[in-house]
Amino acid sequence: MRDLSGSVAVITGASSGIGAATARRLHQLGAQVVLGARRGDRLKEIADELGNERVAWAEVDIRSPERVEELFSCAVDTFGGVDCLVANAGVGAYGGILALSDAEVQELINTNLTGTVWSVRQAVPLLTARGGGDILLVSSVAGLRGRPDEAVYAATKHAVVGLAGSLDRELRPLGIRVTAMCPGATDTEFAMGRGRTPEMPQLTTMMRAEDVADAIVYALAQPPSMRTLLWSMRSVASEN
């Protein structure tokens, strides 16, 4: 496995859930982590938890290309470059195709898909300057097979899988590996209050954010001669 110590990883959606768990795992392995999310107070808490060593953060909304540029500028200014992007930022909402408001539909598309594209566009020149690196896009099992009452969310995650597959073919000659990570239901703040509730019994049988973070780190630590194109995972209790 590849030694990730000293590498610079930009992680979006890093204020909670899979993003925060990934930041902790990479930091434990000696990586330098750059955290981005809309909730700056949460990012500061994580940075303080990690001792503010090998950590930088920026309060960003990835729906804005200008704000995404600020996140990557923070990485360059603090650590000199970027070796890896974990594009994890995303939102969810359950409901039929007519049940979601126009604003909810736009938020799903602009965050899950458009924001991911903005992040990739910032990462590619910086990875190329380092001679290569990794782009890992966090999609979902919904990006492989959508279920009822998640059509718009599933569409955005299908798009992320398609984005990853095309990027793999485009960027591999530049030494950039692209992975689509497709976790199933995970016990995080995802869609809380928008189809999920804290007292849902299903939460107890879901995967944990740390489980997915371990898979992400494993994919990033593959030797340079290998690449993971798509990784789908579910809890043993999942019926899907």
Structure-derived torsion over alpha carbons of residues 101, 157, 169, 222, reported in degrees to the nearest 10: 140
Whether 153 is a known active-site residue: answer yes
**Helix/strand/coil (H, E, C) string of 31-44?**
CEEEEEECCHHHHH
Q: Is 58 helix (H, G, I), strand (E, B) or coil?
A: strand
Question: Would you tell me the crossing angle of helices 40-49 and 17-28 to the nearest 10 degrees?
Answer: 30
Ordered alpha helix ranges (H), the chain: 17-28, 40-49, 65-79, 102-108, 115-129, 151-171, 209-220
Strand partners, 137: 87, 180
The active-site residue out of 153, 180, 186, 212 is 153
- The residue length of the chain stands at 240
Instruction: List the catalytic residues.
Output: 153
